[in-house]
Amino acid sequence: MKPFLERFCPAAAAGRPAVMGIVNATPDSFSDGGAHATPEAAVAWARGLVAAGADLLDVGAESTRPGYSPVPADEEERRLVPVVAALRAALPGVPISADTRKASVARVALDAGADIVNDVSSLEDPDMAALVRERGAGLVLMNGWPEHNGAPRDAAPGGLADWVLRGLRAARARALAAGVAEEALCLDPGFGFGLRGADNAEVLRGLAGIVAGCAPCPVLVGPSRKHFLAAQYPEARGDRDRATALFCAEAVAAGARILRVHAVP
C-alpha cells in the first residue's frame, strides 16, 4: 500500500502542503448554515474549491461544533450519501473523505465513492477499524474528542503539546493493533477540540514536535474559521478566512502536510 500522501495527496507527497476542502452536508453548520447541503449545491461548491486548488474534499453530515446535537445514523446517511455519490460522479479524480464517527455511515459512504474516513472520535465505534482495514481506505484520527464532550483533560497549559502527541500516538496504536496499515493513517491534533482559547496557540507552537512524534504518519490541521482564531490573529480584523490562512502558514512551517479549510488559502 502506498503511504497516505502518495495515495490521496500526490502534490503534498512531492513537497507542497495539500488542501482538503470542506463540504458541509449539514443544515446547522457553524460556517455556512446548510448552504451546501443538497447534492447540487455541494457539487457547485466543491467545483469551486477544486478550481481554487483543493486536492481532496471532506464531506460531513453531522456538525461537531460546541453544543452540537448528535445525529442518528440513518439521518446522517440520508444527508451524506447523496452528496458523496454526486461528488464522485462530478469529480471522479478527486479523493473524497467522509467525516463520520459511525462505522455504519462510513460503510455506505465508502460504497458511494468515498476514499477516506475522517473519524474525529479516533475509533470510538468498535467496528470502524475493521471496516477501514477491509476496504483499504484511508483513515484520519483526531485527538481531543472525549474532552470536547466534557471528559477531564489530562494536561494543563504548559504541557498541551505533549498531551496532544500522547493522544495521537495512542490513537495510532489502537488502529495498528486492529490491523489498519500505518500507510493508511493520517493524524489530526484536534485544534479547537479539548483546547480553549490560548491553548490552541500553545499547541501550534509545539506542532513541530508533534509532527516529528507522529512520523511517518502525516499531520492534518483543521483550524478553519474557528472561534479561537480571532484572539490569536487580531491583525485579521475579524476575517476568519484570513486568520485561518495565517494559522495554516504557521502550521505548514511546523511540518503540517494537509490543511482542512472552508476557503482555499
Q: Grid cell 439521518 — which residue?
A: 75
Question: Active site includes 102?
Answer: no
Report the candidate in 8, 97, 22, 9 with the shortest Cα–Cα distance to residue 264: 22
135-150 per-residue burial string, b: 16 or more CB within 10 A, e: under 16:
bebbbbbbbbbbbbee
226 included as an active-site residue: yes
Choosing from 226, 237, 240, 242, which is the catalytic residue? 226
Rounded Cα distance, 238 and 48, in Å: 24
Spot the catalytic one: 79, 225, 240, 260.
Answer: 260
Query: How many angstroms separate the CA atoms of 39 and 85, rounded?
Result: 8
Q: Which residues are part of the catalytic machinery?
A: 226, 260
